[in-house]
Amino acid sequence: MPVLEPVGRRRERPAQSSDLHSALHSPSIACRVGQFTRLADLYQSPLDWDHPAGPSPWPREQRESFRGEVDAALEALRRELGDGWTVEDRRSYVMPGADKCA
């Protein structure tokens, strides 16, 4: 799930629950939250929980498709929230060529 913070308040204080409630009250934003929940479930479903750091069970095409869906959902959320919010993408950095392993 992305991290949401009101712009200009980032260093002063974290978002208050009332700020988040107002932002998430919109039906379109609630739909985005559902989209991120679905993506999170999809991401976790194929993991080998006995060896989560193991090689990805997804073929390259599926990984690329998933990344594209996440990128599109993040951009849509940023547009819908507007300039008053910052949406941080906290996916960990993957070194170029890492998808060629295993």
pLDDT at 5: 52
Helices (H) then strands (E): counts for the chain: 3, 2
pLDDT tens digits along 39-78: 988 888 888 888 877 887 888 899 899 999 999 999 998 8
102 burial (CB, 10 Å; 0-12 / 13-18 / 19+) is exposed
Over residues 14-43, the mean pLDDT reads: 75
Q: How confident is the model at residue 80 (pLDDT cuts 50, 70, 90)?
A: confident
User: Running DSSP on this structure, what letter comes out for residue 4?
Assistant: E
Averaged over 17-44, what is the pLDDT?
78
- For 86, the 3-state DSSP assignment is strand
pLDDT given for residue 2 in this prediction:
56
Give start and end residues of each alpha helix (H) in the chain.
17-24, 27-44, 60-81
Taking the domains of the chain in order of start, what are their residue ranges? 3-100
* Confidence bin at 6 (pLDDT 50/70/90): low
Give the bridge partners for 85, in sequence order: 6
pTM score, whole prediction: 0.63
